[in-house]
Structure 1
Amino acid sequence: MKKYICFLMLGVFLFGSCSNDEDLGESLIDTSTPELNETDQWIRENFTIPYNIEVKYRFDDAEVDNGKVLTPAKLEKVRPFLEAMKTVWIDPYAEYGGEDFVKMMVPKLLVLVGSHNYNKNGSIILGQAENGRKVTIFDINYFDPANKTIMDRIFSTMQHEFGHILHQNVMYPLEYEKITPGYTTAWMNYGKSDALVMGFITAYSMNNPNDDFVEMIAKMLTKSREEWNKYVESAYVSSWDPDYELLLKQKEEGIAKIRQKEEMVVNYFLQVWNIDLYELQAHIHEVTVNLANK
């Protein structure tokens, strides 16, 4: 008899619980299909459908550091930036690496932020890559395809972050970091010439081997072959310096180290991804120049 009473009480409890559902009110979760503007439609046709890339340009607290003062990307800057990105980054890789390479390697979430992202030490974060899945690009509101300085900065960031994705999938040879073992987190204390003399392509390359490797990629793919060669040898050494001969020797040693790194990066692209980096470099330079001329 006690069992029947227990089952009866359980049934009453469940019935009473179900009967109160209607008192909860309407759901606070918006499940309606969002309206797509022209930019959204263009993103869907050119990024989402062919490459499964989600682009977030509307400000989303969950995607950025809430400890920073950041501003959203301006709508009028979003599509021109993405068109340039497709021209300068996605299309060249699709041509030289193949459509499957792009579909496999590109990040599936691209977050666009309008403003600079300042650190407390005064340095600026231009982009961030997270686990090969997400890339955040800052400075979108300053985008101007006719301004070479801005173009180089933004797309150098994109190539830098994509380089991280590449080595996170297939690591570069460990011998690379032995070429210049003097890495330091105090890289911001060094100038361009200091870095070049020490065998680093940029001061930020001195941060760690991974950043060193992808900075090489970024610099190569935002310059023509001629510009690249000129840059590698551009460290300034004053003939008035009492240690001129010593500094000149250090500069030559630095150039040799960078050339050694260049060879390893080129071989990595060819052997791992079957991409001729010099051909990719020439193509990207050509489309970048055409984009600026438009």
Structure 2
Amino acid sequence: MKLYKYLFLIMLATSFVACDKEEDLGESNIIIDDTKNEIDQWIYDHFTKPYNVEIKYEWDDTELENSKVLTPPSLEKIIPFLEVLLEAWVEPYAEFGGEDFVKKMIPKQIILVGSQNMNTNGTMVQGTAEGGRKVVLYQINEFTYSNWSFLKRLMHIMHHEFGHILHQDVLYPEEFKQVTPGGYTAAWMNVSEEDALDEGFISPYSKNIIDDDWVEIIAYMLTNSKLEYDTHIQRGSYQGQAILRVKEEMVVNYYQNVWDIDMYALQERIHEVFEMVRLREDN
């Protein structure tokens, strides 16, 4: 038995010595591709590195609805669109809310889809937000600087979805639910803009559910100057205007009290950015 123990110890010591020696194991079969193309590098420099945001533009059907016919974005659209997203969304929020606010609240994954996302009832999904962590934006292939109304609509979608992220973190005031409690309908697509305004809703879609009512106020304020926003509201009835001013005041107070952001200053800054963006020329 003692002999066996000695032999075992000798073998164990030998194995340790063998492990300490450097041996040529040949070239690795694992290929690590850390190269980035121009788009990847731009995304890394402007979104991933400063804000820890992943932006996916290459096709990945595991991230999207398999029941829909969708297409990836055209490569030439990606950086120009993301530049506007950065300038008219991320940077103004960082300026008025602070870098820490943006780093905390910004969705950690943004997925770009080139095509429209149509529903069977004829409506169109323009963007989705999931749990405050993921945003999907559609119709990127239609982006151009010269198509001003469409550009504003894309940014409207982003501000709408980010509004959802904010209220999912800190809910809007309970009093907001009592302003127009009976005005919501799943058939919002059958409501005209004029009728919505007359009833105290900023858009037909704001009649969908209370959450959408809240974020539509945010999106309309942040994609229009104060003059444009006021002009839009003034198209409604006297009663509708009064209701919308109540909702606006709640949004402004929420931004100030919860996030320490001056909503009107943020609105003005984003409008200034829009004015500079609209002067750019398409390639």
Q: How do 1:269-284 residues align onto structure 2 when only pairs under 5 Å count? A: 269-284=255-270
1:126 aligns with 2:112: no
Distance in 1 separating the partners of 2:112 and 2:89: 16
Partner of 2:247: 261
CA 1:122–1:262: 2 relative to 1, 3 Å = same
Partners of 1:146 and 1:47 lie apart in 2 by: 25
Query: Runs in 1 of length 4+ with deviation above 2 angstroms?
Result: 30-35
Cα shift at 1:210:
0.4
Q: What secondary structure sits across from 2:43 in the alignment?
A: helix
Q: How does 1:188-199 map to 2 (within 5 A)?
A: 188-199=189-200
> Is the alpha carbon distance of 1:32 and 1:203 closer, same or farther for their aligned partners in structure 2, counting shifts above 3 Å?
same
Q: Secondary structure at the match of 2:278?
A: helix
- Residue 137 of structure 1 pairs with residue 137 of structure 2: yes
Q: 1:24: which partner in 2? A: none
In the other structure, the counterpart of 1:19 is: none
Measured in 1, the distance between the counterparts of 2:149 and 2:117 equals: 18
- Partners of 2:63 and 2:127 in 1: CA distance: 13
Superposed displacement of residue 31, structure 1: 6.4
- Contact map agreement 1:84 1:145 (CA 8 A) in 2: no
Structure-2 residue corresponding to 1:114: 114
What is the deviation of 1:234? 1.6
Find the aligned partners of 2:71 and 2:122 in 1 and give their Cα distance: 18
CA distance in 2, matches of 1:291, 1:199: 31
> TM-score, normalised to structure 2's length?
0.87
Aligned to 1:271, the other structure's residue is in SS state helix
Aligned to 1:178: 178
Pairwise CA distance, 1:147: 2.0
What secondary structure, in the 3-state scheme, does the structure 2 residue paired with 1:135 have? strand
Cα pair distance change 1:190/1:145, threshold 3 Å: same
State, as a whole percentage, how many aligned pairs show the same letter.
52
User: Which residue of the partner structure matches residue 285 of structure 1?
Assistant: 271
Taking structure 1 as the reference length, the TM-score comes to 0.83
Q: Which runs of 5+ in 1 are unaligned?
A: 1-29, 236-250
Q: Distance in 1 between matches of 2:75 and 2:63?
A: 18
CA deviation after TM superposition for structure 1 residue 34, in Å: 5.2
Q: Tell me, in whole angstroms, the C-alpha distance in 1 between the residues paired with 2:177 and 2:146.
A: 36
Give yes or no for the alignment of 1:66 onto 2:52. no
CA distance in 1, matches of 2:145, 2:129: 23
Aligned residue pair count: 250
Matched, 1:210 2:211: yes
Instruction: Give the Cα–Cα distance (whole angstroms) in 2 for the partners of residues 114 and 293 of structure 1.
Output: 24
Give the conservation status (yes or no) of the 8 Å contact 1:146–1:291.
no
